[in-house]
Every structure is written in C-alpha cells, then in structure tokens.
Amino acid sequence: MSFRRARILATLGPASSSPQRIAELAHAGVDVFRLNFSHGSHDDHAQRLRSVRALEAELGRPIGVLMDLQGPKLRVGRIGGGSIMLQAGQPLRLDLDPAEGDATRVPLPHPEIFAALRPGTDLLLDDGKLRLRVQQCGDGFAQTTVVTGGPLSDRKGVNVPGVVLPISALTAKDRADLEFGLSLGVDWVALSFVQRPQDIEQARELIGGQARIMAKLEKPAAIEQLQAIIDQADGVMVARGDLGVEMPPQQVPVLQQRIVRAARAAGKPVVVATQMLESMISAPVPTRAEASDVANAIYSGADAVMLSAESASGQYPVQAVAIMADIIGEVERDPAWRAGLDASHSPAAAHTPDAICCALRRVAELLQPAATVAYTASGFSALRASRERPATPILALTPDLRTARQLSLAWGLQPMHFQPHPDDVAGITAHAVACALRSGLARERDNIIVIAGLPFGRSGSTNLLHVATIDATAARAAAGATPAAQTVPA
C-alpha cells in the first residue's frame, strides 16, 4: 500500500508490456495504468490488461486501468514529392480536392473544418510549427496566407484554435475501441477532443455505468465551458501537449492552475499530463525543470500526475516512475505543501455528506488521528472526503471491486475491497479498526476517524462520523486474524 497522497498514472506500451515490467512499475509506485488507444492493437491492450489484473490479484490491492481514446485526428492530405516549403506571406489554398498538393494548394479532407472557418481564422499545422490565416472561405475551400512558414509534409496535423468544430468527440474508431475496452473491464475512459459538455453526455450514453469518464482538456473551446464540463465529467485531465499547441505556451501554466482549482472545488479527480519527465525517454534522470514541474503539480493539490512516452516507449520506464514517486514524497514532507493545501481549500457544499467530510477535515487537524476509514458503496463518500484534502490518509472501504479500482486515481485514498460488509455502527467500527491496523496506518492507542452512511450501502448517504481509539484487545485480535478486506479475485 502506498502512503503517498498524490497518485501516479503511467502509460503501458512497447517498453512496458511484459508482466515482469508491469510488476516493476507497480512496485516503483504506479497506482493506475493507462492504455493509449492511439497506438497498439486490441490484442496488445487486452494482454496488458490481463497482466495488470493478474498482478492486482497477486498484490491484493486494487489497481485502476484507464483507456485513452484517440479522438478525431485532423490532417492535411497527400503532397506531391512528400513535402513543400511554405514561405511567410505566400498564398495557399486549402480544399477538399483529393489530388496531391503543391506549393499553391494543399488538400484538407475535412468538410467540417471549412464549415467552421471565417475570414481571420488561424489554422495551425504540424503541432503549431506553421500558421495560416484565412482570407476568404466558402463551401469546401479556404484561401489563406502563410503567417509562419516552414516545411509541410504529408498527413501533418491541423489545429483550428478558437473555433468550435462541428465534430463529435467520438469517431467510428473510438466507438469500436470503447466497446472493446468496456468488454475488458476498464475503470476509466479518457475522452479526447472535448469541446463542450454535450460531448461527455454522448459518451456517457454509450458507457452507462461501466466506467468513469475523464474529460481531456486540450481545446480552448473546452476552457470556455470549463465548469460545465467538470460538472458533467467524473474527472479531468490537463492535456498540456495539445492545449499548448492551440494556446500560447505562457498561458498553459495559468490554465493548469485554474483547472486544478476548479476540479478540486468540485471534488473531481484531476490529472496533470504530458512531458512531465520527457527527458527520461532517453536519459536516466530528469532535468531540474521537469522535477520542479512535477513538484508544482503536487503543491497545487492535483490528484495525479501522468507519464506518457516516458513509461510507454522510453529507455527508463521504471526509473521514471520511481523518481516521480520520490518527487511526490519530498513535496508531501514539506510543511509548506500542507499549508498551501489549506490555503487553497474551497468551501464545502451545504449538504450532509459535505458537512460530515468538512468536519472530518477539522477533527483530523485537531486530533491528528492515524487514519480515516471511509465506507463507500459508489465511491461518493470517499471522493467527498478526498476533496477536503485532510491531513490523515483515507482508507476507502468498498464492497464493490470496480469502485475500489476507480478510487485508486483519487488523492489520499487507499482503496480496499472487502466482502461481506458490516451492517451496524459496532460492526463498522470494529471492522474499520481491524483494517486500519492491518494496513499499517494505525496501531494500539491510536485514534482513527470513521465515516459512513446509515443505512449502510446506500450511495451518497454519508451521515456518520465516529472517532474510535484502538485498544489492546482490538490490536491483539487484528494481529491474529485476517480481516475480510483486500479480497481481489484473480
């Protein structure tokens, strides 16, 4: 069990596909594994997920799996000779004609882009390296002027910042991938190309309750509707790579902080992603700037930080995870980290579960208990407790294994799956004490806080806060018995 509050999300790929390597990554500190459906076959992802589930059963702790959908990919068409050189100030026509492009025109096989263009709109090509400005546009064409020139080759990507494109966030490929991922039993679905809350609603209709939805925030249009998107999603990801293409780079750190604050206020897990330890793709240690980048995300209270190519295809995947875990540990030992979390805490909502969790935070501050034990059926109670960022670690006990896996992404939660569950206050307290002792968080004479909902097992009914002191009898009983917890099936 990891006693870090912030979690680590790592991508599996060619450098991290074997069961042995996946086990090494988990031991180094990975809490949730990411399957990137932009790369790899269905068979690749199925084998990786089977390895994760086998490891989960071996370790006896829930491990989350997130599938990341590719989303729409907008690209120019074929170009004669493979590439052209664009000069600033030259005219360039874009149109739907599939014929090979040249220095005067380039095919752009996306009618939805032309439908959204207006004179003055900028288009970015090749991850923002080239910029075009629309002078005139119509049905299926745009006459542009090159603002920033450079080489342009076949099939390079196109971004249209500041424009809401009439495109679904789910392509035909995404729908097929989603159906497959859900059949495997993934815990989270990361939705790319989110522009509006309706994109999440559409995905939820397909997903139902089979997995939680994480909205990837990578479009300026999404930032304009940030609160509505956070309200609709179960979690959000600050996808800084694509966001940095469509927005000036100096705005990305400010937006990152804004997104983290908004997600924390809503009690939704927030992941900071992209290029966190980028140099470790080919180097055994990160740059000092990268270490500071990870640390700043932790100081801001992000739930998780993510590794992409560093763990998927890099030369040092295990070292990258270990160093990320060490950075998190250093920050969480800094008294300024705790002071910053308290200073950035947002008021609780005026309902009973938040009142209980708000009281939990205050009681934890005053009594400094060894742990909080949160009983949760759907995960709601545990997530509201996590939202408060209490000083004590939180054991999230749930009878639902899927919920336990999903909670492995949330700040400060140590999810534990157990069967059967107690059904009265005395049983809840005795079971909580046993689990706290077995976890290593508590020992004899320690206090623990217990939060739960009565009647037990009803989602969103948190209405009990109880402080228990662990006596010698309970400690001896826990030392000689195995509580019905952490029962993760093979």
Tens of pLDDT, residue by residue over 261-311, are 999 999 999 999 999 999 999 999 999 999 999 999 999 999 999 999 999
Question: pLDDT tens, 233-268?
Answer: 999 999 998 898 988 999 999 999 999 999 999 999
Instruction: Name the catalytic one among 21, 73, 75, 389.
Output: 75
DSSP per-residue codes, 310-374: HHHT-S-HHHHHHHHHHHHHHHHTSHHHHHHHHHTPPPPPSSHHHHHHHHHHHHHHHH--SEEEE
Q: Answer yes or no: pTM beyond 0.85.
A: yes
Answer whether residue 196 shows pLDDT above 80.
yes
Answer whether residue 475 shows pLDDT above 80.
no
Answer whether residue 487 shows pLDDT above 50.
no
Q: What is the mean pLDDT of residues 63-85?
A: 96
What pLDDT is attached to residue 198?
97
Instruction: Name the catalytic one among 34, 53, 105, 361.
Output: 34
Q: What is the mean pLDDT of residues 315-331?
A: 98
Please state, in angstroms and as integers, the Cα–Cα distance from residue 425 to each residue in 264, 343, 432, 474, following that order: 30, 34, 10, 16
Q: What is the mean pLDDT of residues 217-227?
A: 94
What pLDDT is attached to residue 455?
75
Is 274 an active-site residue? Answer: yes
What pLDDT is attached to residue 431?
92
Answer whether residue 486 shows pLDDT above 90.
no
- Starting at the edge strand found earlier in the chain, the sheet holding 462-469 runs 413-417, 394-398, 371-375, 447-453, 462-469
What pLDDT is attached to residue 483?
45
Coil, strand or helix at 100: coil
What pLDDT is attached to residue 480?
63
Nearest to 442 by CA among 376, 395, 385: 395
- Model confidence at 221, pLDDT cuts 50, 70, 90, reads very high
Is 34 an active-site residue? Answer: yes
d(CA 431, CA 484): 9
More confident residue, 333 or 161: 333
What pLDDT is attached to residue 422?
72
Answer whether residue 357 shows pLDDT above 90.
yes
Give the domains, in start order, of the chain with CATH numbers: 7-71+169-333 (3.20.20.60), 80-159 (2.40.33.10), 347-480 (3.40.1380.20)
Answer whether residue 420 shows pLDDT above 80.
no
Instruction: Name the catalytic one among 61, 105, 196, 216.
Output: 216
φ, ψ at 125 (rounded to 5°): -120, 150
Radius of gyration of the chain (CA): 24
d(CA 442, CA 448): 8
Q: What is the mean pLDDT of residues 128-132?
A: 95
Q: What is the mean pLDDT of residues 170-199?
A: 97
Identify the helix (H) or strand (E) that includes residue 239. strand 235-239
Instruction: Name the catalytic one among 11, 121, 274, 429.
Output: 274
- Model confidence at 162, pLDDT cuts 50, 70, 90, reads confident
Q: What is the mean pLDDT of residues 358-365?
A: 94
Look at strands 105-107 and 188-191 and give their pairing: unpaired
Identify the helix (H) or strand (E) that includes residue 436. helix 425-439
d(CA 17, CA 59): 18
